[in-house]
Structure 1
Amino acid sequence: MKTMKSRRGGNDRGGIRKRGPTRTDRDGDMDMDASGSRSKRTRPDGGRSALGGRVSGAGAGGRAAGSGSRTQARDKNVDLIQRAIASTESQANIRQSKRNAGKPKEQLEKFSVRGWKESKASTNKDEGREALVAFLERRMNSFTKSGPRIRITQHDHKKGSDTLVVSVRPDLAEKMLRINGNTFAGVNITVAPYNADDALVNELAPADATPGSTADTKSKMQAILNKRYYAPTKLLDMSDLANDADLQAMGIFNTTSTESKFFPALMKVWEMRYASSAERREAVESASLANNRLNNISVVTSLAQTVPDIKNLDLSNNNFKDAQAMIGWRWKFRNLTFLDLTGNDFSSHPNFKDTMLKWYPKLQILNNVQVRTPEEVALQKKTPIPVQSPFFHDDAQIGENFVRAFFPGYDNDRSGLASSVYDNESTFSLNVNTSAPRSHATETASWGEYIKKSRNLDKISHLPARMSRSFKGVEQIREAFTSLPPTRHPDLVTKADQWLFECYPIPGLPDPTGQSAFGVGGLSLTVHGQLEESVGGKIEIRSFDRTFILGPGNTPGGIRVISDVFCLRAYGGHEAWTPDALQVPQVAAPVPGPIPTATPAAAPGGNAVDGYGLPQPGKSDAQLQQEQMVVQMSAKSGMTIQYSEMALSGNGWNAEAAWKNFEQLKASGALPPSAFVASA
C-alpha cells in the first residue's frame, strides 16, 4: 500500500525533532502550517526553499554556514530556482487547462464568514483576509485524517465589509459548517451558507459619496424609509423612486448594477428596523410601487417576502405588458384585497380580471372596481386538512388516517411507530437540502445532527456511502429514528394552513402475503410541512417534504410503509400552499336523478374519457355514482366535465349546496370563461 511521503527536504530524518520557539502567524494564532507544508519562504525567513525543505547549508533554526559571499550566491541561486519553478508550474497549469477543456466545471458551494473584522488580524494590510483563509484551511484539514491537503482557491471580500465569501467543493460543505463559532485571532466567527441578499447592503456602499462606508449607506437608507413610511395608515410608499433627490445624490441609479441591487438592499434595511418578523409584518398594510417604469417585478420581488401580509398594493403607471411580468408574485400576498394596475398594458388583456382573481383569493377591488364581495370571500370553504382536488385521491380515508396517526407518533414515540407501520422490507432514507432558499424570518440553522445520515444523491456519489445511508427493516429504521433530534409538528386541525398533502393510488405493489401474482394496490402519499426541532435547548424551525409508499401488510394496523423518503430543508414558509379559490370552485349539482344512458363522450364538455359515468370492472359503486353526478352537473350548468367535478368535490359532493354556490359565483362573474363548454 502506498503511503504519504513527506514533502520536506533530505534533512527530515523522521521521528520527534527538537524545534525552536513556537511559530505564530500575523494574527497571533499558533501557525499550524509552520512545518510540514509547502512554503514560499526563502532563506532570509528561516532558511527554506520554495519546495519546503531546508536550503543546503542551513543549520537548525535557519543559520547559514559559510561566508557572506557564499550566502549571496546561494540566495541568487534560490531566486533562479524560484523563477524556474514558477515557470514550470505555469506551464503545467496551461497543460492542465487544455486537458480539462470541455469538462463540466464543478459547482462550488458558497459560505459567508463574518465576525472576523474585530479580530487582531484586522490591522494587517489586507484587513486580515489572507490570515482568515489560512485559518479556515487549517481547521478543515484538522477534520481530515488522510488525502490531499484542502486549499481554498476561491474567496471574495469587498473592502470595508465584514463578510468573506468562500467557495468550496460540495463535499467540503460539512467541514465549513463545523468551523461556525470557532475562535479566530481572539474573536468568534460565524460560518453559514451564503445568502446573496445579506450582502446587498454592503455591495451598495461604493455608490455612497464615501466609498466603503457601509454604515453611512445604511443610515441614508433608513432616512429614506422614514420619509416614505406613514405609521398612522401603515403605508410604505415606494413610488417614483427614480426622482427621489436623496437616491440620486447617492448615485443609486447611475449604473444598472446598483439599480438592480438597491431595492433588495432597501428591504433588508427595513427588516433591520424590527425585532421580530411578526412585528415587521404587522407594520405595513399598504404598499405603493407606482410610477417606477417597471417592466416586470424582478428587481422588486423581495417585497413579497418582506411584507407578505399587505392588504393594498398600488402598481399603477408601470410597464407591465402581461401576466408574465408579474409571475413571481403569483400565489403571493394571500391577504390582498385591493390591487391597482391602471396605466399598465396588462389591464387591457381579456384574461386580466380572471388571472388576478385566481392569483389573489381575497381580492375585492381591482383597478378601483369591485370584483368580489366580502360575502363571496367568506364563502370560500375551509377544510380540516388542506386537500387540493384533484390531487388527493384517498379511498376510505386510508391516507388521511395514516398521517393523523403518523406525525404525533413520530414526535412522541418513534420506537413504537417503527414497530407499528414498518416491516423488515420497509426502507427509510433522509436527505438534507442545504441550498434551499430560506424565509427571511428565520436564521440559518446548523445541519450537524443530520448531515452524517443525509443521502443527498446530488452530493454523495460514492456507492458504499449511498448504500450505508439507506435503512432497511424495523431495527435499522428504529435506530435511525432515535438518533435524530426531537421534533414537534403543527397540529393538523388547528394549524392546517401549515400542511399540504398529495395522494395518488398506485397499482402493482408487492403482495406481502404472496397471494396476488399481479401485486396489490396502494397509495403514494407526499406531505409538505414544517417542524420544530429541539437541540441543546435551542428550537429550530425547518421545512420538510416526506413521501410515503403505503400498501397492505401484516402490521398491527394492516397498513405498512413500503418506502419513506424524508427531505429536510431550511424553513421557507407555507404561503404558496393556500388553495386557490377558483381551483376548487364552491359549486355543485342538483340531487342526482336517473342514471344517464348516454356515454360521457357525448356529454357537454366532451372532455371525459370513454367509460366515464358507466360501470366498468374495478370501478367502485362510490366512484360510479360520483361520475354520474358530474355528468348531470355538466349537463345542467353548462360547465366542462373538469369544472363540474371540481365543483362537486369542493362541496363534499353535496349537490344542493353546490348548486347554490354555482349560481352565486356565476351571477358575480367569478367563474372564468374556460369553466364553460364552448358553443358549437
Structure 2
Amino acid sequence: MMNRTSAPPRGPRNSSSSTRGGGRVGGGGITKRRAGPIRVDKDGDLDMDTTIGANGRKSGKGVIGGSVPTGPRGHGRGGARNAGRGGGRLYFTRNPQAILRGMGSQSQQANVLVTLWIKGLKGSKAASNSDQGLSSLVSFLERKATALDSKSKRSIRVKKSHKKGDIVVISVAPEDAASIMKLDGFVFAGSTITVQDSEPSKTSEKPESEEARLTREKIQGVLAARYDPNLKLLNLSALGQDEQLKQMGMFEDNTLVSKLFPVLMVICDKLFTTPQAKKDAIVSVTLTVNSLADLSNVTSLASTFPDLKNLDLSRNQFADLESLKLWRWKFRHLENLVLSGNPIETLVPDYATDIVRWFPELQLLSGVQVRSVAQVHADLEAIKSPFPIASPSFRDVAQVGENFIRQFFGAYDNDRNALLTNFYDAESSFSLSVNMSAVRDRDRSLPVPPWAAYNKFNRNLVKHTHLSTRLSRKSTGSQEIQAIWNDLPKTIHPEITTRPELYLVECQPLPGLPDPSGQSAAGVDGLLIDVHGEFEENIPNFEGKALRSFSRYFILGPGGPNGPPIRVLSDMLALRAWSPLAQTTAVQGPQPVPAIPNVSQVPVADPSLTPEQQQKICAEKLSAETGMNLQYSAMCLAETGWNLEQAYVAFQANKANLPAEAYQKP
C-alpha cells in the first residue's frame, strides 16, 4: 500500500502572511507583537539581521536579502535545507554593499572633503608662471604641511584645487586640514599667505566707515611726517607729545593709548605689503621718550619690521631684563641697539651679557662695540656648523677618479647617450632621490623650482616604504637608465676646472667589487666618489635662475671584456633645494699646499718711492691675485711682514674664514 504524502502548501510561496510575519492572526482579531527570546549566532554575537516574533520565528521585514520563504517546520531534511538556503543570513553575507548603503551618514562622511581658502598667491614671485603659480603653491602646501606633521608617516595631499579670482580654493581630507591651517602666515615665493577655513567674502570686514577712513588718513599723515626716506628711519619718539595725535584724542583714554601702536603697525602693514618692501623702506626705528616700562604695548613692532638694523629705546623706563624679554630672539639682523637713559643701566650692570646673546648680529649696544663684523660672521657659521667641516679627502688611483669627474658633468649636460656608452653597461644601476625638506640658509636662499619633472622617478626611501615602489624606481642596465635620463630635464653644471669652489669632491679606494671577468673570487678594487654641487635648469616662466643643489655618489670599477674600460657600477643622485656649499676648515695633519701662482716677491726698493707707496703697490698686487680689497690685502701683508708670497699662502689657508666684506670693493 502506498503511503500518503503530505499535501504541498497551497498558497503562494511569498504570501503576505509570511512576508509580514510579525505574529499570527487568530480569532478574527489583531494580536500585539510580543517580544521573543534574544537570538545570538554561533559566535555568541547578537543576531540583528531579523526581527523575532513572539512565536520565535524570524520576520521577513527588514531582512536585507529579502523575505524568508515559508514552508513546513522541521519535517525532514527538506525543511532544514530550505531554511538554510532561504534564510536571511545567507543574503546578509552576500550583500556587503547593502550594509554600506544602510549605514547612511557614516558612509557619506568618508568622502567628505574640507575646503580651505588661501590668499597671497597674487603677490608672490610664482604668479608669473604659466599657471599663475597654482601648481607651485599646491606643492608648497603639501611639502610644508607634511614636514610639520612629521610624526605621521603619510604624506598630505591636496585633492582638488582651483583659482577663484585672487584666491586659491583647495579641498583636502578632514585629517589633513589642521596641518595645512598651520601654514597661515608662512612666506611663499616672497609673499605671506593666509589660510582660512571659511570663504573670505563671507568673513570680510565691514565696509570702512567715514569716521574710520578719516582716522586712518590722519594716522597715515602722522607716519608720513615721521618718516625720513633718506635715512630709512621711522621716528616714533615722544608719541605722547604729538599734536596731531592729541587733537585726535588718542591720549584721553588708556584703552586708546594701548591700541595706538598696534594701529600704527596695521597701517604700516597696509603701506608695505611684502616683507621685502618693509626691509627696503625701514632700516631704523626710534622709540625714545615714550615712558615705556615694558614692551607690551609695542611688541607688534617685531612682527611688522623683523629685519631692522637699528633700534633706539633710550630715555624710557626699562628697569630690568624681564621688561625686554618680549623681544628676546626677535630682530635677528639687529646691529645697533640703544638703551642709554634707562634704569636698567644702573640696576642691572651686566645686562649687556644677555642682550648680546638675544641678538646674534648685534655689534653696538648703547654706542659700545660688543662684536666685530668678523665675530658676527664666525658666530653665525658656528651656529650652522657646530663641528668643523674637514677639507675633502681625495685619494685617487692613477687619476682614474679625476679623469672621470672632469668628463662626466660636461657629457651629462650635452650628450647623455655618449656618456652611457662610455661608462655604463648592463650591470650599472641608477636611482634618483628628491629631498624636499632639506635645511637651507635663511639668508642665502632662492625660490625653489617645481619638482614635477622628478616626482615619478623619486626613490626617496623615507617617503616610499613599499618594496614594489623601491624596486621599480631603481634602474639597472644602460637601456633602462637611458629611458630615465631622456625624461629628466636638461641641466647646466658649472665648469669644474674653472669654478672648483662650487664643488666638493671626495674619492677613496673601495675593495671587494665583483670581478667582471670572473677570475678573482675576492673581487677587485674600485673607487667610491662623492660629488656635491649645484646645477641650473632652463624652466620657462621661472623668475630668476632655476638652481638646484645635488649630491651624486658613484662606485667605479673595471669594465668587462666587451664593455668600457672603466664602468659605473652604481650611480645615486640626490636632489634638494639650492643652498651654497658649507665652507670647509683645515684639519690637523699634513695637507697639500695649493699651487702658488706666479706671485713675485716685494719689488726691489725704488729710491724714488716712499715705504708707504711700496706697500701700496704690494697690496694692489695681492688684491689682484686674491680678489680681496685693498684694506684686507694690506692687513694680510702686515701680518706676514710684507712678504708677498707668504701673504698669498696665508690667504689660501684662511680664505674660508674671511667675511664677505673682505671682497667688497668701493
**Both structures adopt the same fold (TM-score exceeding 0.5):** no
TM-score by length of 2: 0.42
Greater CA radius of gyration, 1 or 2?
2
TM-score, length of structure 1 as denominator length: 0.41
